[in-house]
Amino acid sequence: MKTVFEKTTRNELIRRINRLNENSARQWGKMNLYQMMKHCTLWDEMIFGEKQYKQMFLGRLFGKMALKNMLKDDKPVRRNSPTVPGFVVSGNGDYRSEKAKWINLLSAYENFSNDAFVHPFFGKMTKEQVGQLAYKHIDHHLRQFNT
C-alpha cells in the first residue's frame, strides 16, 4: 500500500498537486479548489501536531474498526466521505499560496516524528497507518479535482 513516507510517492503527489490550477473543476462534493487545498493543509497540520482535536465519541466506538476497513486495501476513499467538522472550509482565498503550503507540508513527511498522533475519529494511529491514511486522503482530494 502506498504511503507518504516513501519519497517516490510524495513526488508523485506533488506532481499531481502542481497540475491543479484555476481551471481545475471538482468532480464531486461541495468544496472549490481553494477550500479543498485549505482542508488538506489543515489536515496535514493536524498530522504534524500543529493543531490538535479531541477524539469524537463516535470515533471511540467505531474508529478503530473504520480505520482497519479503510486501510485493508488500495481502494481509494469513497466519494463524499464525511469529514471532521474542524476541517470544513468555507469562503475563498489564494489557492496558489495554499498550494505552496500544501507542497511544503507534504515534503515534511520525510522527517515525520509525531508518534503521539491521535486522529479525531480513528484515534491513536501507528506511523504506518498515518502514512497510508495521509496518502489515501491526499489521493482522494486530487481525484476529486481530476488529477
Give residue 126's pLDDT: 96
Give residue 90's pLDDT: 93
Give residue 139's pLDDT: 98
Given phi > 0 = left and psi -120 to 50 = alpha, else beta, which region is 3?
A: beta
Domain map (residue ranges) of the chain? 7-144
Give residue 86's pLDDT: 84
Rounded CA-CA distance 128/8 in Å is: 16
Give residue 55's pLDDT: 85
**What is the value of pTM for the model shown?**
0.94
Counting beta carbons within 10 angstroms of the beta carbon of residue 112, is it exposed (0 to 12), middle (13 to 18) or buried (19 or more)?
middle
Q: Pick out the chain residues at pLDDT < 70.
A: none
Give residue 62's pLDDT: 94
- Which segments of the chain are extended strands (E)? 118-119, 123-124
Give residue 144's pLDDT: 97
Give residue 108's pLDDT: 97
CB atoms closer than 10 angstroms to residue 23 = 6
